[in-house]
Structure 1
Amino acid sequence: MRNEILTAFSDYCRDYEKSDRFYNSSRLSKLIYYVQEIILDNESLYIIIRPRIATQEAYRLLEDLTIEPVSAEELLDLRDRLVNRFHPQEGDILEVDFQPFYDYSPVIRDPKNIGKGVAFLNRYLSSKLFQDPRQWQDALFNFLRLHRYNGYQLLINERIQTQQQLSDRIKAALGYLSDRPADQPYESFRFDLQDLGFEPGWGNTASRVRDTLEILDQLIDPPDHQALESYISRIPMIFRIALISPHGWFGQEGVLGRPDTGGQVVYILDQVKSLEKQLQEDIELAGLDVLNIHPKVIVLSRLIPNSDGTLCNQRLEKIHGTLDAWILRVPFREFNPNLTQNWISRFEIWPYLETFAIDAEKELRAEFGGKPDLIVGNYSDGNLVAFLLARRLKVTQCNIAHALEKSKYLFSNLYWQDLEDKYHFSLQFTADLIAMNAANFIISSTYQEIVGTPESIGQYESYKRFTMPELYHVINGIELFSPKFNVVPPGVNENVFFPYTRPEERLLESRDRLEDLLFTLDDPVQVYGTLDDPGKRPIFSMARLDRIKNLTGLAECFGKSKELQERCNLILVAGKLRTEESTDHEEISEIEKLYRIIDEYELQGKVRWLGVRLPKGDSGEIYRIIADHQGIFVQPALFEAFGLTILESMVTGLPTFATRFGGPLEIIQDKVNGFYINPTLLDEMASIILEFVSKCDQNPSYWEEISKQAIDRVYSTYTWKIHTTRLLSLAKIYGFWNYTSQENREDILRYIESLFHLLFKPRAQALLAEHMRR
């Protein structure tokens, strides 16, 4: 692999005393920089090169140094041979190839524009449609006539029968509005506009209605793609949104820190509140309050009958701080009550999703009084259910991955058979291929989530070409240059996570209680370890105890560094203290490992481990208390798709050290508002933290400088207002283009259905049969 290749080349240059020029700028060094993988097979050497982002090439180097290109099919066959050398595959294997379905779709040319899909799509399709003014005007006119809400006609009525009439009436309406006060309420002239053919939806004041009509007037002749995006974003098209998140313990209290329950729950609940607020604001701006229209947002999750003290056994739960947003929980059918009555791991959930989608459709229709206008899937299981629902309801589908497991577990596709009992990756990766290709648009939190960096492959990029030996070959799993990809990072809940420098907003009672919990409370039920010197600078981390989050790696880094132990304490908030409290095999393994590390490095008196599940409000205050003590936050994950805890710690003012593998590379600007660490290099990680601590000791204002820069970074770039405004704009624009271009997606959807029924479903049924035997 790449890291091993770079290390071997470095060792070679050192051992043979090669010059710096040879090491840094020779042709061989440049080639080695781009090599991702080397495979030795008998007498041939296979070299996989990534000459630029989102592109891979493979070559065979023969004994006489001649070079031959290697096709995707040959490379995948080679991988299969190496994995199954004792059980070689006989005959052909199923090949999955989505490329033909993207051949007739527009694709982005420049890799730097990947993730800016809607801007590209808007320019591309506008230019095509604008070439025929008559076709363009008819398409726009017919689209405007579509919009209704609960039987109410919106925008234009039957008094406007043609696009020419529309153009004439716009000018008449602008003349009528020209001498009216800018802030005159829409309801005072509503019926005059109705006589001209205009129904509610244009604006809530004379100036807003006038602005909207003027943008439309510009669009009719001559059209402009920027005006089009501005206008489509104003059209009242979305009132009901369903967000799908089946796995885990989805609730508002008492769930964080449980298996499969963390950042995704926080993300969705914050997103819901912001979405409802933005929808209500858009409805009011459009003047639709005269029709008493209100938005409704539903998070669809799984009902867990044995809810372990949570509210996950309640069908409906109102989301705090909202007017009409709910968690709707639908149970899995009782195939085997021993399992379906209880929590089921996200790796085992697959057999229940199709019937869950069928049952959920009825429940959603009942709650919405119709169908949603937008379906947003979350994670692999939620995205698969979103596909099944969107296909049945004919609704725009948006996908949010949060994390794609394939890039988190090295060689997880190659050795899927060895991992199948625990992880069932054959189902998960097939579900990912289905959902990402079916989605109308995909939201990622970062650019590198899609196509990585010059040094590393992106999460979606890892689905481009791969093999699952004896199951299938993916020749082309996703078009990375498709305009369906859009980077829209999340925000933080600013009511909970705010700077430590705002004492007037902090609750004294919570602060005293949490200060005691963090540093001094003697409670063996909740806390393991006492601190010999609570006054040392705290190194703090908070995450679930699973392998990827790597809290044990941070503990080992601390254990290996005597200097860190002399100057700092390590404080971990990590869910559970005892193995008997968990049913998750990874969590049990990490609990045992953490105890071993504490004993091996004799960290008693230097480490404090809190086995608690904190309400969200307490989480915000805990960051601020650590900041009061001029501590730091370390996020040592082996891979992090985005990193909400990084935003949370930064906005509270904590200097933050985060993994260089994944999303944090785009959140943090190294040594400006935070620091990168490599969680696989423990000595290097310790030295980076020590360098910061030393600088702070020499110059106390350095801590405050990094703290302020971290706060500024979040407020300038990562707010829910920015996120939800963009998300709703994307949903409207993709909805518009799906309608006006009449893109025929039926062929790709039929292909996807074939994969679902012929690949996914039989494996899901086999897993269900196994569950029935338990």
Structure 2
Amino acid sequence: MSELLQAVLNSDEKNDLRSLMSELRLCEKRYLLRNDILNLYEDFCTKHQKNAHTQSSHLSKLIYYTQEIIQEDSNLCFIIRSKIASQEVYLLTSDLSIEAMTVQDLLDMRDRLVNRYYPNEGDLLEIDFGPFYDYSPIIRDPKNIGKGVEFLNRYLSSKLFADPKQWQESLFNFLRLHQYRGIQLLINGRIQSQQHLSEKIKAAIAFISNLPLYEPLETFRLDLQTMGFEPGWGNTAARVLETLNILDDLIDSPAPQTLETFISRIPMIFNIVLVSPHGWFGQEGVLGRPDTGGQVVYVLDQAKNLETQLEEDALLAGLGELNVQPKVIILSRLISNNDGTLCNQRLEKVYGTTNAWILRVPFREFNPNMTQNWISRFEIWPYLETYAIDAERELIGEFQGRPDLIVGNYSDGNLVAFLLARRMKVTQCNIAHALEKSKYLFSNLYWQDLEEKYHFSMQFTADLLAMNAANFVISSTYQEIVGTPDSIGQYESYKCFTMPELYHVVNGIELFSPKFNVVPPGVNESYYFPYTRNEERVETDRLRLEEMLFTLDDPALIYGKLEDPSKRPIFSMARLDRIKNLTGLAECFGKSQELQEHCNLILVAGKLRVEESGDNEERDEIIKLYQIIDEYNLYGKIRWLGVRLSKTDSGEIYRVIADHKGIFVQPALFEAFGLTILEAMITGMPTFATQFGGPLEIIQDKVNGFYINPTNLEETASKLYDFVTKCDSNPAYWDEISKRGIERVYTAYTWKIHTTKLLSLARTYGFWNFISKEKREDLLRYIEALFHLIYKPRAQQLLEQHKYR
């Protein structure tokens, strides 16, 4: 029995628990989430004059760790999460008898809650990935979740130490694998065994030690070749000597850091695919379109910086004379009706790169009304399997062979990445960015009601398949995986859930697997840099955007005139959808007369008119924003810019707001990471961001930014007002927070940090897959079976619907 429950039952709070349960039974809701539970308990404590603080009593502590309560008849099901990445489930009856519930019991209860439980019709399909992780190393301590590569390096080092002969033989065989376009790298046939390698390493170290440190490789390349060493060890005597010494140390006394350093130097990745298929992927005219924006920015910046890092790595490895040309391809969708963009071009070079490209592959013809136009990310599922087949052929043609790494983006991209990696036998990396299951409350429980609009049955199935198939998974934050002590992570939400009448997931993902790694994205420093760097700013851009933000009268682009443009600006920039919650920020501003007296609200938010939008959710938010402006009489106090900004303008617009000592507010109901937060902080804007999601790890509250609860409008307004008045009385305070925000980004969130880590991960997991001989075929066969039995039939049904649109 849970220690938390037992502590209550063994104390004089037993009757309090009984009274609380009586009040819970009177609640109209049959399914209470954590916020509902805490609010109800606070009312209970007020009514009975008790202290609701977490540590004030055993009952308060129990309530604090209870994530959900489900009512069924007179019984209550408590789902308790007393520690990260684990939960306990108990059924409490009116006489306080307690029964532990299995995962299957819980899922059946959830099905009964929505009247979707039919025991006489046989058991529902149970999806359980647990057995496939029984033979893999598993992290024990929850605080190490997301540090998969560190754990894996420790594990591999211990194996090298415990069985040196076998593992050193595997290491030797691994080094013999590597080539670039048929040219052998690292070691050649003159080294024929692990023992021979060890001897040759020592001889090479002795030889190179007598050379000048900066002697270029070409002057002694033939000498190394005679000893059995091909290019790949370094570009100078110093670099080659350092790499060989690291390998020598690794063979003699393996250590995790030594292993990571050595593997990260191996030239084994030259060609990378970044998969982002759903469309409107381009470098101009796509930002602000439905389903794009942040994703396009992220993937383009990642592609550019990966190419730069690959080129740097190749030169450092001494491959300069081999004319190595790393290539990065962004795989997206070709859209014939391109709406003035370049999305109808098959191949487009990424600006500012040598060999990074956007490759667009069309969906196969079916109904031209669908396949030649943009399709929402909720609707594209029927086309992805054939798209992957066609894309494989195109990629092999562009690379003149297979890529070395495939990186999926979002649910659709990750499914395509799995299909491609499976067919091409390539290392697969998943980056989810945001999982829709966490965004839409009870989306799995009521999936049938939402299916026509969102098709979650396919999306959630795709997520399960891709994340389990991936060799490694990148998240932007720790809590994206397993949440916080009082909130469940996005990946954790896939651990156990029901899709009533479709399937039960009893173990959807192993959270303690070393495949998870936290690698946050960076900021494009070419566009986003501190407002104080006046020498890098373009004066004409600054003046143009200053006018646009504060005074320009252009009804086609801007709604609202400011009565007093000199007031401190509160600024936000996002697409208009429910989750981004710009309407919530407008309402928060509308409810606060104090804020209105001191500040103006300026929003950059896509479209101004309903008829301009093709997205249902965006249209709803446009209507809502006008209603809020009218309800709170915000005329003269708000500016709404319906514009698409280039990255150049986007960076400068933050800086112009910073010139006016403004503040940036990110009011999302949930934010997986928050790239706009980094952009605002690096430009020098004091930033207030949602406490729900990734911003908790970006911002250190009250040090270099501030958390807000966007569902509590009065509290949010109070925090903003407190900051504004403090800056009014002490202008240096604004400067202090501004400076700390800039420092925070430069020390933790650059693309250089991101790409170095990503490539190190790819090499380590490639090494792990080779030497472990991990039995993944049974897992992949299971995933394929689920794909064909669950995903594919549903995709075919949707395809039939598309036929008549």
Interval containing the TM-score (normalised by the shorter chain): over 0.9
1:484 maps onto 2:515 in alignment? yes
| Of 215-224 and 538-547, the range deviating more from structure 2 | 215-224
1:239 aligned partner: 270
2:764 and 2:371 mapped to 1: Cα distance?
Answer: 40
Contact 2:160 2:254 in 1 (8 A): no
1:735 maps onto 2:766 in alignment? yes
Contact 1:129 1:136 in 2 (8 A): yes
Query: Of 561, 566, 569, which residue of structure 2 is paired with 1:538?
Result: 569
1:605-650 CA-partner distances (Å, limit 9, x unpaired): 1111100000001000000000000001000000000000000000
1:234-257 CA-partner distances (Å, limit 9, x unpaired): 100000000000113111111111
1:532-556 CA-partner distances (Å, limit 9, x unpaired): 1111111100000111001111111
2:537 and 2:353 mapped to 1: Cα distance?
Answer: 23
Deviation at 1:88, TM superposition (A): 7.7
2:438 aligned partner: 407
2:519 and 2:42 mapped to 1: Cα distance?
Answer: 39
1:574-605 CA-partner distances (Å, limit 9, x unpaired): 11111111111111111111111111111111
2:82 aligned partner: 51
1:598 maps onto 2:638 in alignment? no
2:170 and 2:116 mapped to 1: Cα distance?
Answer: 58
Q: Structure 1 residues 289 and 433 mapped into 2: Cα distance closer, same or farther (>3 Å)?
A: same
Query: Of 167, 181, 185, which residue of structure 2 is paired with 1:136?
Result: 167
Query: Of 252, 261, 276, which residue of structure 1 is paired with 2:292?
Result: 261
Map 1:141-540 → 2, pairs under 5 A: 141-540=172-571
Deviation at 1:130, TM superposition (A): 2.7
2:275 and 2:164 mapped to 1: Cα distance?
Answer: 40
1:540 and 1:603 mapped to 2: Cα distance?
Answer: 15
Tell me the amino acid that sits aligned with residue 8 of structure 1: L
1:699 maps onto 2:750 in alignment? no
- What SS class does the counterpart of residue 408 from structure 2 fall into? strand
**TM-score of the pair, normalised by structure 1:** 0.99
Deviation at 1:104, TM superposition (A): 1.3
Contact 1:80 1:89 in 2 (8 A): no
Tell me the amino acid that sits aligned with residue 724 of structure 2: V
1:573 and 1:591 mapped to 2: Cα distance?
Answer: 12
Deviation at 1:90, TM superposition (A): 3.1
Tell me the amino acid that sits aligned with residue 420 of structure 2: L
1:124 and 1:88 mapped to 2: Cα distance?
Answer: 45
2:116 and 2:124 mapped to 1: Cα distance?
Answer: 16
Q: Structure 1 residues 37 and 698 mapped into 2: Cα distance closer, same or farther (>3 Å)?
A: same
- What SS class does the counterpart of residue 499 from structure 1 fall into? coil
Deviation at 1:773, TM superposition (A): 1.4
2:688 aligned partner: 657
Query: Of 99, 110, 121, which residue of structure 1 is paired with 2:152?
Result: 121
Q: What is the root-mean-square deviation in Å for CA atoms of aligned residues?
A: 1.1
Tell me the amino acid that sits aligned with residue 274 of structure 1: N
2:46 aligned partner: 14
- What SS class does the counterpart of residue 501 from structure 1 fall into? coil
2:119 and 2:560 mapped to 1: Cα distance?
Answer: 53
Map 1:624-773 → 2, pairs under 5 A: 624-773=655-804
- What SS class does the counterpart of residue 308 from structure 2 fall into? helix
Contact 1:446 1:642 in 2 (8 A): yes
Contact 2:116 2:500 in 1 (8 A): no
1:34-68 CA-partner distances (Å, limit 9, x unpaired): 11111110121111100100111110001221110
Contact 2:160 2:168 in 1 (8 A): no
1:28 and 1:132 mapped to 2: Cα distance?
Answer: 52
1:115-158 CA-partner distances (Å, limit 9, x unpaired): 00011111113212432221122111100100011010001111
Q: Structure 1 residues 87 and 535 mapped into 2: Cα distance closer, same or farther (>3 Å)?
A: farther
2:228 and 2:130 mapped to 1: Cα distance?
Answer: 46
Deviation at 1:744, TM superposition (A): 1.0
- What SS class does the counterpart of residue 51 from structure 1 fall into? coil
Q: Structure 1 residues 86 and 67 mapped into 2: Cα distance closer, same or farther (>3 Å)?
A: closer
1:145-201 CA-partner distances (Å, limit 9, x unpaired): 000110100011111111122112112211211111000000111111111111110
Contact 1:541 1:572 in 2 (8 A): yes
Query: Of 592, 606, 612, which residue of structure 2 is paired with 1:561?
Result: 592
1:89 and 1:713 mapped to 2: Cα distance?
Answer: 58
2:579 aligned partner: 548
1:100 maps onto 2:131 in alignment? yes
Q: Structure 1 residues 376 and 86 mapped into 2: Cα distance closer, same or farther (>3 Å)?
A: closer
2:64 and 2:50 mapped to 1: Cα distance?
Answer: 17
Contact 1:81 1:88 in 2 (8 A): no
Map 1:608-623 → 2, pairs under 5 A: 608-623=639-654
Tell me the amino acid that sits aligned with residue 521 of structure 1: L
| Of 128-137 and 486-495, the range deviating more from structure 2 | 128-137
1:365-393 CA-partner distances (Å, limit 9, x unpaired): 11111110000000000000000000000
Indicate the percent of aligned positions where both proteins have the same amino acid: 75
Contact 1:635 1:658 in 2 (8 A): yes
Q: Structure 1 residues 418 and 153 mapped into 2: Cα distance closer, same or farther (>3 Å)?
A: same
Query: Of 35, 42, 46, which residue of structure 2 is paired with 1:3?
Result: 35
Contact 2:158 2:254 in 1 (8 A): no
Contact 1:646 1:656 in 2 (8 A): yes
Tell me the amino acid that sits aligned with residue 495 of structure 1: S
Q: Structure 1 residues 311 and 527 mapped into 2: Cα distance closer, same or farther (>3 Å)?
A: same
Deviation at 1:222, TM superposition (A): 2.9
Deviation at 1:73, TM superposition (A): 0.3
1:67 and 1:233 mapped to 2: Cα distance?
Answer: 53
Contact 2:263 2:763 in 1 (8 A): yes
Contact 1:89 1:470 in 2 (8 A): no
Deviation at 1:226, TM superposition (A): 2.0
- What SS class does the counterpart of residue 320 from structure 1 fall into? coil
Tell me the amino acid that sits aligned with residue 201 of structure 1: G
1:579 maps onto 2:610 in alignment? yes
Q: Structure 1 residues 672 and 598 mapped into 2: Cα distance closer, same or farther (>3 Å)?
A: same
2:629 and 2:721 mapped to 1: Cα distance?
Answer: 20
Contact 1:526 1:611 in 2 (8 A): yes
- What SS class does the counterpart of residue 803 from structure 2 fall into? helix
2:30 aligned partner: none
Tell me the amino acid that sits aligned with residue 586 of structure 1: E
- What SS class does the counterpart of residue 298 from structure 1 fall into? strand
2:723 and 2:199 mapped to 1: Cα distance?
Answer: 67
Tell me the amino acid that sits aligned with residue 215 of structure 1: I
| Of 461-470 and 592-601, the range deviating more from structure 2 | 592-601
Gaps of 5+ in 2: 1-32
Contact 1:53 1:452 in 2 (8 A): yes
Deviation at 1:19, TM superposition (A): 4.5
**TM-score of the pair, normalised by structure 2:** 0.95
1:419 and 1:683 mapped to 2: Cα distance?
Answer: 32
2:766 and 2:52 mapped to 1: Cα distance?
Answer: 55
Contact 1:81 1:89 in 2 (8 A): no
Tell me the amino acid that sits aligned with residue 667 of structure 2: P
Q: Structure 1 residues 555 and 749 mapped into 2: Cα distance closer, same or farther (>3 Å)?
A: same
Tell me the amino acid that sits aligned with residue 35 of structure 2: N
Tell me the amino acid that sits aligned with residue 568 of structure 2: R
2:440 and 2:119 mapped to 1: Cα distance?
Answer: 24
